[in-house]
Chain A
């Protein structure tokens, strides 16, 4: 009996040994102490995540484990732009920016866990561009309790602008309710007598877009159809819209499904006016609709009314800003250039601007960063469309809230339908 047990005893001793070995390794993590560190432009106050050489930022994104991992290129794009700032601009405030990335798995529980690591183990200065509405929903209360700036949240839910509930949170992209309202207002202006058929994705994104549209559009809505994001086919829904006699289709869907909607229209020779969300880059949607043939797809997509706030990586490829974007992404290990990489750069530029302002004010503390963000007025990132600027304030926690309605041309470029963006601020 005792001999048998000797082996387990050995195992127990082994694990104790492991413990001792691990203990020697752990020489206590260097915790940045609050205080004042000399910065190049005079004295800069710091508290968390800032040393003489480094600014630590945190970021969570959906990197694995879910159907929603399609947004992961945002992360390497952010990293590439920060790397560009570090190498070519000498960092911000004389310090390198380091981005610590965690995978939130699109789950509120996991996100809450990972963001705790970022705040309490890594002691980041601020969180930037966290992605995934359910995930950020899980983080937001805790992050605000800890008084950590949760800047430029990359989800289109409309609640992030609620500065009273979450004073440390600032939203970034035009939220889907706002976009729906902008499109609804535009439809009311131009097509007041249309018979509208709505197709939306049955989740946060699609429901927000539908509700926003219905807030502003007062005309006739003949049918509303929805699909699950896991659906394989949406022809049935399209058939119902057609049978209801819709002549304006409001498509609040992601590119794969929008493309299928256009395919259905072509197959059935049905030509309603289409309005769709900015999450559908025109050329991508057209390529998908054409089954890989962009030219055939553009025949279907042209004339569609959409909105935008970012440059289009295909239509605007000749602009110097877009060439610079391509260079940064290729030089500093970014993802292949795409809408999400453009998006990532816009996010990173705004974050760099925020840090610069905090540095100029001599206050690189968490509170200082929030104040710096709230001080931004009329700032333009290089990859934004003309006329769109970032305006923030203590009572305005949404970075971008204006969109330019535009019509897609046969060559895939959007032609603005108004000189000024429509804003719902």
Chain B
């Protein structure tokens, strides 16, 4: 039986590298997966933020970040010495996102506020089209993709023996960790955070408790826009800048946010890491002839669905109790 099994596994169709043949490769794949996962986690945090504060999923999240990043790119090229500092750009990207989020909520979302959730989601889809198209019109007539400056080098790296970690990726890690802690504090330990959660769960009751629902929704959009903007400015140096650069990240981040639980801040980060690592390991250690790197994304998504079936509200998500 054992012989049959090992014989079967050594058939060419099932040929695959094995982790124990090269542990340093395994280590490198895990580290690289965590690095990629950090990108997803960053955007997933913005998704969680807006879901917890307004109860919707924002499809325009990616394009708002893209739009802001292109705006920063213009500022960068403006020639003013102050703006050529990538750290300044990073801060400005956050501020721009903050403003864009607030404007979008006031102008586009406010008129459909209180309408069915799907109506609002479709409005964000319309917003996606508008932002994408306007950005293409303004910025994307020249050679694409563009490069975007990074505060820390994308080429210099820290060698940790079995893998090298580019300095810029360390920054992404740090920002992601910082954002996670701040958001956790905001939602769990501040009055504003509590008011935002209350608004998302039951606007009418929140209003009766004296919460200004409109301002809370604007705040939610603004904060999520700021986080998205910073994420865009951090991701652009890695994946390069063009009008569609954030959409794939957004799709991965949806998966990450859902995997961790849409209402859980640490869940978003855990979800991002799991997706990133799973994709790398599944691409590397599955039989190349029948699965392999080409199938790594579908396999990772299957894993996502499988986990959801066991935990329908994500790994760290709280079950919402529904009253009849």
| A–B proximity contact (CB within 8 A) | yes
Among A73, A226, A233, contact of B36 (Cβ-Cβ < 8 Å)? A233
Please report the C-alpha to C-alpha distance between residue A335 and residue B166 in the assembled complex, in whole angstroms: 35
Known: A226-B294, A239-B25, A267-B166. A232 touches B36 (CB 8 A): yes
Taking CB atoms, residues of chain B closer than 8 Å to A259 are 240
Q: In the bound complex, do residue B284 and residue A236 qualify as a contact, i.e. CB atoms below 8 Å apart?
A: yes
- B102 CB within 8 Å of chain A: no
Q: Which A residues are CB-close (under 8 A) to B247? A: 67, 230
B131-154, CB < 8 A from A: 133, 136, 140-145, 147-150, 153-154
CB nearest neighbor in A for B133: A64
Picked from B39, B166, B239, the residue with its CB within 8 Å of the CB of A256 is: B239
Cβ of A413 within 8 Å of any chain B Cβ, yes or no, is no
Most buried by A among B32, B140, B143: B143
Besides the known contacts A232-B248, A235-B36, A339-B143, 17 further A-B residue pairs in the complex with CB atoms under 8 A apart: A67-B248, A70-B140, A70-B144, A70-B242, A70-B244, A72-B140, A224-B288, A232-B39, A233-B36, A233-B239, A236-B32, A243-B22, A243-B28, A256-B145, A259-B240, A263-B166, A340-B143
Cα of A268 to Cα of B136 in the assembled complex, Å: 35
Expressed in whole angstroms, the minimum distance between the Cβ of A180 and any Cβ of chain B is 18
- Cβ of A226 and Cβ of B293 under 8 Å apart? yes
Closest to B162 in A: A239
Tell me whether B164 is interfacial, beta carbon within 8 Å.
yes
Q: Quick one: which of A225, A227, A255, A340 contacts B145, CB cutoff 8 A?
A: A255
Interface residues of B in 197-248 (CB under 8 A from A): 235, 237-240, 242-244, 247-248
**B237-A291 in contact (CB<8A):** yes
Which of A14-22, A31-39, A282-290 is near enough to bind chain B?
Answer: A282-290
Could you say which of A73, A230, A239 contacts B32, with CB atoms under 8 Å apart?
A239
Q: At the interface, yes or no: A296 with Cβ under 8 Å from chain B?
A: yes
| Chain B: CB-nearest residue to A64 | B133
Q: How far is the CA of A337 from the CA of B150 in the complex (A)?
A: 26
Chain B min CB distance to A266 (Å): 5
- Indicate if the CB atoms of A291 and B239 lie closer than 8 Å: no
Is B155 positioned at the interface, with any CB of A under 8 Å from its CB? yes
Q: Are B147 and A292 in contact (CB under 8 A)?
A: yes
Please tell me if the beta carbons of B294 and A240 are within 8 angstroms of each other in the complex.
no
Indicate whether A236 sits within 8 Å of B155 (C-beta atoms), given known contacts A69-B243, A70-B244, A256-B239.
no
| Contact A338 B142, CB 8 Å, known A67-B244, A69-B243, A259-B240 | yes
Chain B interface size band reads 35 or more
Contacts across chains A and B counted by CB atoms under 8 Å: 128
Q: Is the CB of B239 within 8 A of A69?
A: no
Would A267 and B157 be within 8 Å (CB), given that A233-B36, A243-B25 are in contact? yes
Identify which of B141, B163, B240, B249 contacts A73 (C-beta below 8 A). Answer: B141
Bound-complex Cα distance A209 to B177 (A): 41
5 A-B residue pairings within 8 Å (CB atoms): A202-B294, A232-B252, A233-B35, A236-B280, A239-B29
> Interface range on chain A: under 10, 10 to 19, 20 to 34, or 35 or more?
35 or more
| CB < 8 Å neighbour of B148 from A243, A292, A335, A340 | A292
Q: Are B143 and A284 in contact (CB under 8 A)?
A: yes
A39→B248 CA distance, assembly (Å): 53
Do the beta carbons of A338 and B143 come within 8 Å of each other? yes
A231 lies within 8 A of chain B by Cβ: yes
* A228–B36 CB distance below 8 A: no
Question: B297 an interface residue at 8 Å Cβ cutoff?
Answer: yes
A200 to chain B, nearest CB (A): 10
Q: Does B283 contact A (CB under 8 A)?
A: yes
Which chain B residue lies CB-closest to A229?
B248
Q: How far is the CA of A340 from the CA of B283 in the complex (A)?
A: 34
- The reply to whether B155 and A233 contact each other, CB–CB distance below 8 Å, is no
Contact residues of A between 231 and 274, Cβ < 8 Å to B: 231-233, 235-237, 239-240, 243, 255-256, 259-260, 263, 266-269
Most A CB atoms within 10 A — which of B153, B240, B297?
A: B240
Q: Please, which residue of chain A has its CB at the minimum distance from the CB of B247?
A: A67
- The answer to whether the Cβ of B105 comes within 8 Å of any Cβ in the partner chain is no
A340 — which chain B residues lie within 8 A by C-beta? Answer: 143
Is residue B267 contacting chain A, with contact meaning CB distance below 8 A? no
Chain A 285-322, CB within 8 Å of chain B: the 1/0 string?
A: 00110111000100010000000000000000000000
Query: Is A90's beta carbon under 8 Å from chain B?
Result: no
Interface check B279, CB cutoff 8 A: yes
Q: Is A378 an interface residue (CB 8 A)?
A: no
Residue in A237, A239, A296, A300 with the greatest tally of chain B CB atoms within 10 Å: A239
CB neighbors of B among A202-224 (8 A) = 202, 224
Q: How far is the CB of A346 from chain B (nearest CB, A)?
A: 16
Whether a CB of chain A sits under 8 angstroms from the CB of B251 is: yes
Question: With A70-B244, A236-B280 known to touch, is A267 a contact of B155 (CB < 8 Å)?
Answer: yes
**B33 on the interface (CB 8 Å rule)?**
yes
Instruction: Contact check, A233 vs B238: say whether CB atoms are below 8 A apart.
Output: yes
Contact in complex: A256, B155 (CB < 8 Å):
no
Bound-state CA distance A263–B154 (Å) is: 7
- Determine the distance from Cα of A335 to Cα of B288 in the docked complex, in whole angstroms: 43
Report the minimum CB–CB distance from B233 to chain A (whole Å). Answer: 13
Chain A residues closer than 8 Å to B163, beta-carbon distance = 239
Q: Residue on B with the closest CB to A230?
A: B248
Residues in B with CB closer than 8 Å to A228 are: 297
Chain A 62-77 interface 0/1 with B at a Cβ cutoff of 8 Å (1 = within): 0010010110110010
Q: How close is A313's CB to chain B, nearest CB, in angstroms?
A: 8
